[in-house]
Amino acid sequence: MNDEKNSVREEKLLRLEEELGIDPYPASCLESKPISKIRDAGETEDSVIASGRLTGKREHGKTVFADLRDGTGSIQLYLSKKILSDRDWSVLGLLDLGDIIQVKGSVFTTRMGELTIRCEEIELLCKSLRQLPVVKVDSLGVAHDEVTDRDYLYRHRCVDLQVNPDSLDRFVKRSRIISTLRSYLDSSGFLEVETPVLQPLYGGAAAEPFETRYGSMNQQFYLRIATELYLKRLIAGGIDKVYELGKDFRNEGVDRTHSPEFTQLELYEAYADYNVMMDRFEEMICAAAGAAGQSNSIIYQGTEFDLTPPFRRIVFMDSLRDASGEDLFSWEPEDLRKLMDEKGIITQANDRITMLDKLFDHYVAHRIQQPTFVIDYPEELSPLAKHKKESSGVTERFEVFLGGLELANAFSEQNHPLLQRRILKEQADASMHRKGDLDDDFLYALETGIPPTGGMGIGVDRLVMILTDTGKIRDTILFPHLRRNEK
RNA sequence: GCGUCCCUAGCUCAAUUGGCAGAGCAACGGACUCUUAAUCCGUAGGUUCCGGGUUCGAUUCCCGGGGGGCGUACCA
């Protein structure tokens, strides 16, 4: 591909090697100073060494101005035929945008007021053979010729990160958010664990799994859709505070807020309940916002949100009743169906509880803006949650919504082994996919006994969306899935 | 899965009713000792996503395929 284009650079590569005797891919280089630190230190007569990628070149005969960028920042280079050796001047003539170089020189300010390294020596560290898009930013900060081909950028994230500073910044923030979640949990006494990604049975959520074949066992396995049932085994084992941060896989549709491979944080805390989980969520999102350089007041897609605890709490059934103006829970399925048709809510579901859930999405969930805990979900929607004693038909469960996005799901865990078995059995029998398979080992763990426990799952990619003002989940994932492009 | 829009040079985009496929940036050659979207002169660069069809003639119209964007459905 692009053989013609690349041959120009390959020719330069050959000339560097053969005419100048230069190794275009040396194994080592001198220790260099981060460009941000050089900028902070300002002008100096002492020589500094900087390394990075050549991102701009402005030639003026015997003088060349260039831009050098490393992971910390960017700085201008001043290269003069008078200062450089003949060898280095020749090397300069064979450099392209994208090459990685090392320079040594003093730091001064040009007449135009730009902090600049007056290069005494240059060394090629890596010749770039691929011509990348050139995005120029003018004096007003407006980017010109920005790459708009999303396909190209998703397929070559290395280009995206080089060319779009916003993209790089988003992934840096993602990393900081994740490490902040970890340190919050670690310092709160939680133990991080790893449970199987490949599972002989899948559970802990209602989703279509990816299936795979385990050759040496000669058995069908599944990629996990949740970590829940394994983490509760560990609660049974006496790890009272436990969490796992990793990928779950759901073989379902892709849209703005769903990715089949996504990152979830699940945590379980013995001797706690869903009220404790609400406190933890509030603390974690505030800490994560700080990690992303935000205060408790954030802007997401043009709207301001206040993360200051405590968040609003609304009851599932009440909120649906208030928003719809009807007591939908007493309605027959046919009437619910009729209402949904009137409202233009398209769904394949026809059973009462699923339709109520859809109506909840329509009337309540998608309209929630400021951070809100929706509490006390119906039992039928929450097979792994503990039933609320004082009222019938609901569980100690909540979901967190913000800006219309579901961010987390939590409950006081169901720990009654016989009740849990019955619920899972009924569900398995009714399910198309599960084919009646019960996770007996999980139920065995419950039978050994687990204490009252609060658990929560947080959608990390969505949290990153909110805290980095990103509209699409795909833009928070470094390498989103794409079809193979066979030309 | 369904609907809809898109695919032209390395990148961003043009191309009249269907009539020789162009420009800016990048690249190449040249000029230039403080520029910063450097400037000036010149050069080269194309399987118009792929395959068929209609036509004297297709980037353009039709059919099929591929990839992508957006919306939507499934996702306790």
A430 CA → B34 C1’, Å: 77
pLDDT band at A217; cut points 50, 70, 90: very high
Q: What does the domain layout of chain A look like in residue ranges?
A: 3-131, 166-311+370-476
> Which residues, 6+ apart, have CB-to-CB distance to A364 below 8 Å?
A314, A319, A320, A323, A374
Task: Please write the tens of the pLDDT for every residue from A374-427.
Answer: 999 999 999 999 999 876 789 999 999 999 999 999 999 999 999 999 999 988
Q: What is the pLDDT of residues A297-323, one digit of tens each?
A: 999 999 999 999 999 999 999 999 999
Rounded CA-CA distance A163/A106 in Å is: 28
Minimum-distance nucleotide, CA of A163 to C1': B11
Q: Measured on CA atoms in the order A449, A454, A460, A462, is the torsion positive or negative?
A: positive
Task: Find the Å distance, CA of residue A129 to C1' of nucleotide B60.
Answer: 36
Q: Which residues pair with A54 in a beta bridge?
A: A68
Residue nearest to nucleotide B11 (CA to C1'): A133
pLDDT for A96-149, tens place per residue? Answer: 999 999 999 999 999 999 999 999 999 999 999 999 999 999 988 889 999 999
d(CA A137, C1' B5) / Å: 30
Nearest nucleic acid nucleotide to A475, CA to C1' distance: B69
pLDDT value for A342: 84
Question: Integer distance in angstroms from CA A42 to C1' B33?
Answer: 24
- What Å value separates CA A57 and C1' B14? 28
For position A432, what pLDDT does the model report? 57
Q: What is the mean pLDDT of chain A?
A: 93
- Provide the 3-class DSSP secondary structure of residue A167: helix
Q: Which nucleotides of B are covered by protein (CB under 7 A)?
A: 1, 10-13, 24-28, 31-39, 45-46, 49-50, 66-76
In this complex, which residue's CA is closest to the C1' atom of nucleotide B49?
A: A487
What CATH architecture is A3-131? Beta Barrel (2.40)
> Tokens 């048709």 correspond to what residue?
A341
Rounded-to-integer distance, Cα A240 and Cα A260, Å: 30
Q: How far is the CA of A77 from the C1' of B10 (A)?
A: 25
pLDDT in tens, A412-424: 999 999 999 999 9
Q: Cβ neighbours of residue A170 under 8 Å, at least 6 residues apart?
A: A464, A468, A470, A475, A476
Q: Which nucleotide is nearest to A62 (CA to C1')?
A: B33
pLDDT value of position A433: 54
Determine the pLDDT at residue A6.
55
Which of the four pLDDT bands, split at 50, 70 and 90, describes residue A333? confident
pLDDT of residue A3: 41
A486 CA to B61 C1' in angstroms comes to 27
- B31: residue with closest CA to C1': A61
Q: Point out the nucleotide closest to A93 (alpha carbon to C1′).
A: B28
pLDDT of residue A2: 38
Residue nearest to nucleotide B1 (CA to C1'): A253
Instruction: Specify the CATH architecture of the domain A166-311+370-476.
Output: 2-Layer Sandwich (3.30)
How many Cα neighbours within 13 Å face the side chain of A163? Answer: 22
- For nucleotide B26, give the residue with the nearest CA to its C1': A134
pLDDT at A193 over 90: yes
User: Integer distance in angstroms from CA A81 to C1' B33?
Assistant: 9
Check whether A271 has a pLDDT greater than 50: yes
